[in-house]
Amino acid sequence: EAQVTQNPRYLITVTGKKLTVTCSQNMNHEYMSWYRQDPGLGLRQIYYSMNVEVTDKGDVPEGYKVSRKEKRNFPLILESPSPNQTSLYFCASSTGGRGPQHFGDGTRLSIL
């Protein structure tokens, strides 16, 4: 089954404790993205990657890092999380061009 898998689905942590949210896709997609969803703001792109070792900032990259060492994986790293990063995060992948993106089920982060 074609899917984008995120882990963990839920996480409660404290300010300053580094965390990583993993994302993996099994569709051999070149493009991958991270979004955060906040009430009243919709989804906003954090980072995207067009291929292995090629990443770029989206609209709200501050406080986040990403890496793309393998085609299937695109982890999101919060080096020093803060409460304003409490949000619902989605990973997405696509074939590129103007094709639709396929989304994971989301990761709900709460940073106290």
Partner 1 sequence: AQSVTQLDSQVPVFEEAPVELRCNYSSSVSVYLFWYVQYPNQGLQLLLKYLSGSTLVKGINGFEAEFNKSQTSFHLRKPSVHISDTAEYFCAEDTGFQKLVFGTGTRLLVSP
**Binding residues vs partner 1 (CB under 8 A):** 4, 31, 33, 35, 40-45, 48, 50, 56, 58, 90, 92, 94, 96, 98, 100-106
Least distance CB 109 / partner 1 (angstroms): 15
Quick one: tokens of 78?
Answer: 């919060």
Nearer to partner 1 (CB atom), residue 3 or residue 15 = 3
Say if residues 69 and 53 touch (Cβ distance below 8 Å). Answer: yes
Check residue 96 and report its DSSP letter: S
Query: Least Å distance between CB 105 and partner 1?
Result: 5
Q: Is 14 helix (H, G, I), strand (E, B) or coil?
A: coil
For residue 5, the minimal CB distance to partner 1 (Å) is 10
Helix (H) or strand (E) holding 45: strand 42-51
